[in-house]
Amino acid sequence: MKLYRINIHNFEDPLQNKRLLELVGTERRKKVIRYRMPDDRKRSLAAGLIIRKILNENGLSEDSLKYSENGKPLADNLFFNISHAGDYVVGVSSDREVGCDIEKIVDAPLEVTDRFFHLKEAEYIKSAEDKNRAFFTLWTLKESYMKMTGRGMNLPLDSFEVVPMTDGFMLGESAEKPCFFKTMEFDGYIFSVSNETDFAITQNDFLDIDIMSASEPAYLQD
C-alpha cells in the first residue's frame, strides 16, 4: 500500500499559473477549470496529480482511466482512492480494493450522531472526552469503507457498523465486503483507510508532493 499527500495551502490558483494545468491531462484540466472557487480548482488539480502519479508508477496512462456509476476512478488491476478536506488532498493505492477519507477536526455536528451512527458508534462518540475527534474518526472510517465498496454515498451510513476496539476498529455486521481499518491524525486532520486485507501504515509512508517547487512534471514519474 502507498500513501500520497499534497498540501494546497501555498498552491497557486491553476488559472493564474497555466504551468500547473500542463501537469495533468486534458480531461482533468477541464474538471479543474469548471470549478468557480480557487481552492476547489487547487484540490481538483492536486487530485489529478496524485492519480497521475499512481498511474505512472504502474505503467499506465490517464487514457486507461474509467469511472464507476458513482464516479470512482478505476483502472485495470489497480485499486486506488482519493480524498480531500481543507488544505489536504490525499490518495492511497493498493493491490486490493481500498478506500480513504480525510476530514479536518472542527466542531462536529453532534446533533446528527443518533441519526447517522449505530448505537455503539453513538455511545463511543457521546462518551469520548474529545467528542469532535471521536466523531470525525468514525465518520472517516465509515466513509472510507463506503468508498472501498464502490458504492459511496449510495451505501447508507447506518447500514453497517464500525466497532471501536481497545487497539483500533473493526467492521461489524455488513452485507458488503469485509475490510480492515487504520486511522491516523496529522496537522489537525483525521485520515482513515479501509482495505480488503490487513495492513499497516504510518505517517512516514506518505509521499508528500510539493508542486510549487517542481519546474517539470518529472517528479510524477517513477
Judged against a pLDDT cut of 50, whether residue 219 lies above it is answered with no
Share of the chain above pLDDT 90, in %: 67
With beta carbons less than 8 A apart as the criterion, state whether 45 and 37 touch: no
Judged against a pLDDT cut of 80, whether residue 112 lies above it is answered with yes
Return the C-alpha cell found at 178: 469485509
What digits encode the pLDDT tens for the residues 30-64? Answer: 999 999 999 999 999 999 999 999 999 999 888 78
13 and 80, same structural domain? yes
Half-sphere exposure of 191 (CA within 13 A, CB side): 25
153 and 176, same structural domain? yes
pLDDT at 175: 62
50 and 112, same structural domain? no
User: Angle of helix 119-127 relative to helix 131-148, nearest 10 degrees?
Assistant: 150
The answer for residues whose C-beta is within 8 angstroms of residue 92's C-beta and 6 or more apart is: 1, 2, 3, 4, 80, 81, 98, 100, 193
Return the C-alpha cell found at 47: 487530485
| 3-state secondary structure at position 14 | coil
1 and 81, same structural domain? yes
**Domain count of the chain?**
2
The amino acid at 115: R
What digits encode the pLDDT tens for the residues 55-92? Answer: 999 998 887 888 777 667 778 788 999 999 999 999 99
Return the C-alpha cell found at 190: 483525521
User: Which CATH number characterizes residue 125's domain?
Assistant: 3.90.470.20
Closest CA to 159 of 140, 144, 146, 178: 146
Q: How many whole angstroms separate alpha carbon 170 and alpha carbon 162?
A: 6
The answer for residues whose C-beta is within 8 angstroms of residue 206's C-beta and 6 or more apart is: 3, 4, 5, 90
219 and 178, same structural domain? no
pTM: 0.91
- Collect contacts of 201-205 with beta carbons under 8 A, ≥24 apart: 201/1, 201/3, 205/1, 205/2, 205/3
Quickly count: other Cβ atoms within 10 Å of residue 63's Cβ.
Answer: 8
Comparison of pLDDT for 212 and 51, the residue scoring more:
51
pLDDT at 47: 95
143 and 85, same structural domain? no
pLDDT at 222: 46
187 and 212, same structural domain? no
124 and 91, same structural domain? no
The answer for residues whose C-beta is within 8 angstroms of residue 199's C-beta and 6 or more apart is: 1, 94, 180, 182, 193
Judged against a pLDDT cut of 60, whether residue 215 lies above it is answered with no
Average pLDDT over residues 128-135: 97
210 and 148, same structural domain? no
What digits encode the pLDDT tens for the residues 139-187? Answer: 999 999 999 988 887 888 888 899 888 889 999 876 677 899 999 999 9
107 and 191, same structural domain? yes
The residue segments making up the domain with residue 215 are: 1-96+199-222
Return the C-alpha cell found at 187: 496537522
77 and 123, same structural domain? no
* pLDDT mean across residues, the chain: 89
Closest CA to 93 of 53, 48, 149, 61: 53
86 and 145, same structural domain? no
The amino acid at 181: F
Return the C-alpha cell found at 208: 508528500
